Structure 1
Protein backbone atom coordinates (compact mmCIF):
# COMPACT_ATOMS: atom_id res chain seq x y z
CA UNK A 1 0.00 0.00 0.00
CA UNK A 2 2.87 2.35 0.75
CA UNK A 3 4.36 1.89 -2.74
CA UNK A 4 1.00 2.53 -4.37
CA UNK A 5 0.54 5.69 -2.32
CA UNK A 6 4.06 6.90 -3.17
CA UNK A 7 3.46 6.24 -6.87
CA UNK A 8 0.19 8.14 -6.68
CA UNK A 9 1.78 11.02 -4.81
CA UNK A 10 4.55 11.45 -7.37
CA UNK A 11 2.80 10.49 -10.61
CA UNK A 12 -0.25 12.73 -10.30
CA UNK A 13 1.68 16.02 -9.97
CA UNK A 14 4.12 14.82 -12.65
CA UNK A 15 1.28 14.17 -15.07
CA UNK A 16 -0.26 17.56 -14.28
CA UNK A 17 3.00 19.39 -14.95
CA UNK A 18 3.60 17.24 -18.07
CA UNK A 19 0.33 18.51 -19.53
CA UNK A 20 1.23 22.10 -18.64
CA UNK A 21 4.41 22.13 -20.74
CA UNK A 22 3.29 21.45 -24.29
CA UNK A 23 6.08 23.31 -26.05
CA UNK A 24 9.03 21.38 -24.60
CA UNK A 25 10.62 18.29 -26.05
CA UNK A 26 9.79 15.01 -24.25
CA UNK A 27 13.07 14.80 -22.33
CA UNK A 28 12.70 18.35 -21.05
CA UNK A 29 9.11 17.72 -20.09
CA UNK A 30 10.12 14.57 -18.22
CA UNK A 31 12.89 16.30 -16.25
CA UNK A 32 10.75 19.30 -15.33
CA UNK A 33 7.72 17.19 -14.41
CA UNK A 34 9.78 14.89 -12.16
CA UNK A 35 11.35 17.88 -10.42
CA UNK A 36 8.00 19.63 -10.09
CA UNK A 37 6.34 16.55 -8.62
CA UNK A 38 9.08 16.23 -5.99
CA UNK A 39 8.77 19.93 -5.15
CA UNK A 40 4.98 19.69 -4.97
CA UNK A 41 5.01 16.73 -2.57
CA UNK A 42 7.77 18.20 -0.40
CA UNK A 43 6.18 21.65 -0.38
CA UNK A 44 2.76 20.32 0.57
CA UNK A 45 4.28 18.24 3.36
CA UNK A 46 6.26 21.17 4.72
CA UNK A 47 3.29 23.53 4.66
CA UNK A 48 1.09 20.97 6.40
CA UNK A 49 3.77 20.34 9.03
CA UNK A 50 4.20 24.05 9.71
CA UNK A 51 0.44 24.55 9.96
CA UNK A 52 0.07 21.55 12.29
CA UNK A 53 -2.36 19.69 10.02
CA UNK A 54 -0.10 16.84 8.91
CA UNK A 55 -1.55 13.41 8.38
CA UNK A 56 -1.19 11.01 5.45
CA UNK A 57 -4.76 11.69 4.33
CA UNK A 58 -4.42 15.45 4.45
CA UNK A 59 -1.11 15.22 2.59
CA UNK A 60 -2.74 13.16 -0.15
CA UNK A 61 -5.65 15.59 -0.40
CA UNK A 62 -3.32 18.59 -0.54
CA UNK A 63 -1.19 17.06 -3.32
CA UNK A 64 -4.28 16.06 -5.28
CA UNK A 65 -5.73 19.58 -4.95
CA UNK A 66 -2.48 21.21 -6.10
CA UNK A 67 -2.24 18.77 -8.99
CA UNK A 68 -5.83 19.45 -9.94
CA UNK A 69 -5.12 23.18 -9.93
CA UNK A 70 -2.11 22.73 -12.22
CA UNK A 71 -4.07 20.41 -14.52
CA UNK A 72 -6.88 22.98 -14.67
CA UNK A 73 -4.38 25.67 -15.60
CA UNK A 74 -2.98 23.42 -18.31
CA UNK A 75 -6.45 22.82 -19.66
CA UNK A 76 -7.27 26.53 -19.75
CA UNK A 77 -3.94 27.50 -21.32
CA UNK A 78 -4.00 27.11 -25.06
CA UNK A 79 -1.22 28.26 -27.34
CA UNK A 80 -2.10 31.21 -29.51
CA UNK A 81 -2.60 30.52 -33.14
CA UNK A 82 -0.57 32.87 -35.27
CA UNK A 83 -2.31 32.19 -38.58
CA UNK A 84 -2.55 35.87 -39.42
CA UNK A 85 1.24 36.29 -39.36
CA UNK A 86 3.17 35.45 -42.48
CA UNK A 87 6.47 33.82 -41.62
CA UNK A 88 8.58 33.24 -44.73
CA UNK A 89 10.16 29.85 -45.11
CA UNK A 90 13.91 29.61 -45.61
CA UNK A 91 15.04 28.67 -49.11
CA UNK A 92 15.18 24.96 -49.70
CA UNK A 93 18.54 23.25 -49.85
CA UNK A 94 19.49 20.85 -52.61
CA UNK A 95 19.14 17.16 -51.87
CA UNK A 96 22.07 15.36 -50.27
CA UNK A 97 22.99 13.50 -53.46
CA UNK A 98 22.59 16.49 -55.76
CA UNK A 99 25.74 18.01 -57.19
CA UNK A 100 26.43 21.64 -56.38
CA UNK A 101 27.37 23.50 -59.56
CA UNK A 102 29.06 26.54 -58.06
CA UNK A 103 31.62 24.70 -55.98
CA UNK A 104 33.02 25.55 -52.56
CA UNK A 105 33.71 29.24 -53.30
CA UNK A 106 30.08 30.28 -52.96
CA UNK A 107 29.55 33.46 -50.97
CA UNK A 108 26.56 35.60 -50.24
CA UNK A 109 26.17 38.20 -52.92
CA UNK A 110 24.33 40.72 -50.78
CA UNK A 111 27.31 41.27 -48.44
CA UNK A 112 30.32 43.11 -49.81
CA UNK A 113 33.44 41.11 -49.08
CA UNK A 114 36.88 42.60 -49.47
CA UNK A 115 39.28 39.89 -50.46
CA UNK A 116 42.98 40.10 -49.67
CA UNK A 117 45.70 38.68 -51.84
CA UNK A 118 48.14 36.25 -50.32
CA UNK A 119 51.05 38.67 -50.55
CA UNK A 120 49.09 41.57 -49.02
CA UNK A 121 50.25 40.91 -45.46
CA UNK A 122 51.45 44.41 -44.58
CA UNK A 123 48.21 45.15 -42.71
CA UNK A 124 49.63 43.00 -39.92
CA UNK A 125 52.60 45.33 -39.41
CA UNK A 126 50.86 48.74 -39.38
CA UNK A 127 51.65 51.07 -36.48
Structure 2
Protein backbone atom coordinates (compact mmCIF):
# COMPACT_ATOMS: atom_id res chain seq x y z
CA UNK A 1 0.00 0.00 0.00
CA UNK A 2 1.33 3.41 -0.98
CA UNK A 3 1.63 5.78 1.99
CA UNK A 4 2.41 9.31 0.81
CA UNK A 5 2.87 10.65 4.34
CA UNK A 6 5.95 9.91 6.41
CA UNK A 7 6.30 10.81 10.08
CA UNK A 8 8.56 13.81 10.39
CA UNK A 9 11.50 13.30 12.70
CA UNK A 10 13.53 16.09 14.30
CA UNK A 11 16.70 14.25 13.26
CA UNK A 12 15.94 15.31 9.70
CA UNK A 13 16.20 19.05 10.42
CA UNK A 14 19.99 19.17 10.00
CA UNK A 15 19.69 17.08 6.86
CA UNK A 16 17.28 19.66 5.40
CA UNK A 17 19.70 22.42 6.35
CA UNK A 18 22.53 20.58 4.58
CA UNK A 19 20.35 20.48 1.45
CA UNK A 20 19.83 24.26 1.74
CA UNK A 21 16.10 23.61 2.32
CA UNK A 22 15.99 26.10 5.18
CA UNK A 23 12.31 27.11 5.05
CA UNK A 24 9.48 24.83 6.07
CA UNK A 25 5.75 25.43 6.04
CA UNK A 26 3.54 23.70 8.58
CA UNK A 27 -0.17 23.28 7.92
CA UNK A 28 -3.12 21.21 9.08
CA UNK A 29 -3.30 17.82 7.41
CA UNK A 30 -6.92 17.44 6.28
CA UNK A 31 -8.79 15.38 5.47
CA UNK A 32 -6.98 13.02 7.78
CA UNK A 33 -6.11 9.75 6.04
CA UNK A 34 -7.32 6.74 8.04
CA UNK A 35 -3.83 5.32 8.50
CA UNK A 36 -2.72 8.51 10.30
CA UNK A 37 -5.59 8.72 12.75
CA UNK A 38 -4.67 8.05 16.33
CA UNK A 39 -4.47 10.38 19.30
CA UNK A 40 -7.33 12.77 18.63
CA UNK A 41 -6.05 15.25 21.22
CA UNK A 42 -3.12 16.08 18.94
CA UNK A 43 -3.22 18.35 15.92
CA UNK A 44 -2.08 16.45 12.84
CA UNK A 45 0.16 18.65 10.69
CA UNK A 46 2.05 18.40 7.42
CA UNK A 47 5.49 19.88 6.76
CA UNK A 48 6.73 20.99 3.35
CA UNK A 49 10.29 22.19 2.79
CA UNK A 50 11.56 24.95 0.49
CA UNK A 51 14.89 26.42 -0.52
CA UNK A 52 13.47 29.90 -1.12
CA UNK A 53 11.47 32.09 1.24
CA UNK A 54 9.35 33.33 -1.68
CA UNK A 55 8.11 29.79 -2.33
CA UNK A 56 7.37 29.22 1.34
CA UNK A 57 5.46 32.53 1.51
CA UNK A 58 3.42 31.64 -1.59
CA UNK A 59 2.48 28.33 0.03
CA UNK A 60 1.56 29.97 3.34
CA UNK A 61 -0.47 32.67 1.58
CA UNK A 62 -2.46 29.94 -0.18
CA UNK A 63 -3.44 28.44 3.17
CA UNK A 64 -3.96 31.66 5.11
CA UNK A 65 -7.19 30.38 6.70
CA UNK A 66 -5.33 27.51 8.40
CA UNK A 67 -4.79 28.34 12.08
CA UNK A 68 -1.63 26.21 12.12
CA UNK A 69 -0.08 27.72 8.98
CA UNK A 70 3.39 28.99 9.76
CA UNK A 71 6.81 29.32 8.15
CA UNK A 72 9.88 28.19 10.06
CA UNK A 73 13.39 29.25 9.10
CA UNK A 74 15.71 26.40 10.06
CA UNK A 75 18.66 28.81 10.22
CA UNK A 76 16.90 30.76 12.98
CA UNK A 77 17.79 29.08 16.29
CA UNK A 78 14.58 30.00 18.11
CA UNK A 79 12.35 28.90 15.22
CA UNK A 80 14.26 25.64 14.81
CA UNK A 81 14.00 24.99 18.56
CA UNK A 82 10.23 25.56 18.44
CA UNK A 83 9.89 23.09 15.56
CA UNK A 84 12.02 20.56 17.46
CA UNK A 85 9.72 20.95 20.48
CA UNK A 86 6.71 20.33 18.25
CA UNK A 87 8.18 16.97 17.20
CA UNK A 88 8.65 15.71 20.77
CA UNK A 89 6.44 12.73 21.72
CA UNK A 90 4.72 14.70 24.49
CA UNK A 91 3.83 17.69 22.30
CA UNK A 92 0.30 18.43 21.19
CA UNK A 93 1.25 17.89 17.54
CA UNK A 94 1.93 15.01 15.17
CA UNK A 95 3.87 16.12 12.09
CA UNK A 96 4.05 14.31 8.76
CA UNK A 97 5.85 15.09 5.55
CA UNK A 98 5.51 14.20 1.90
CA UNK A 99 8.93 15.59 1.05
CA UNK A 100 10.97 13.44 -1.30
CA UNK A 101 14.17 14.99 0.03
CA UNK A 102 13.35 13.93 3.55
CA UNK A 103 12.38 10.34 2.88
CA UNK A 104 15.06 9.65 0.28
CA UNK A 105 17.82 11.35 2.24
CA UNK A 106 16.82 9.96 5.58
CA UNK A 107 16.66 6.41 4.22
CA UNK A 108 19.95 6.74 2.31
CA UNK A 109 21.81 8.36 5.18
CA UNK A 110 20.05 6.85 8.20
CA UNK A 111 23.34 5.92 9.85
CA UNK A 112 24.49 9.54 9.91
CA UNK A 113 21.09 10.94 10.86
CA UNK A 114 20.45 8.64 13.80
CA UNK A 115 22.41 10.76 16.27
Same fold (TM over 0.5): no
In proportion to residue count, which structure has more helix? 1
The higher-RCO structure (CA 8 Å, 6+ apart) is 2
TM-score normalised per structure 2: 0.24
Instruction: Please report the TM-score for the alignment, with normalisation by the length of structure 1.
Output: 0.22
Query: Looking at CA atoms only, which structure, 1 or 2, has the larger radius of gyration?
Result: 1
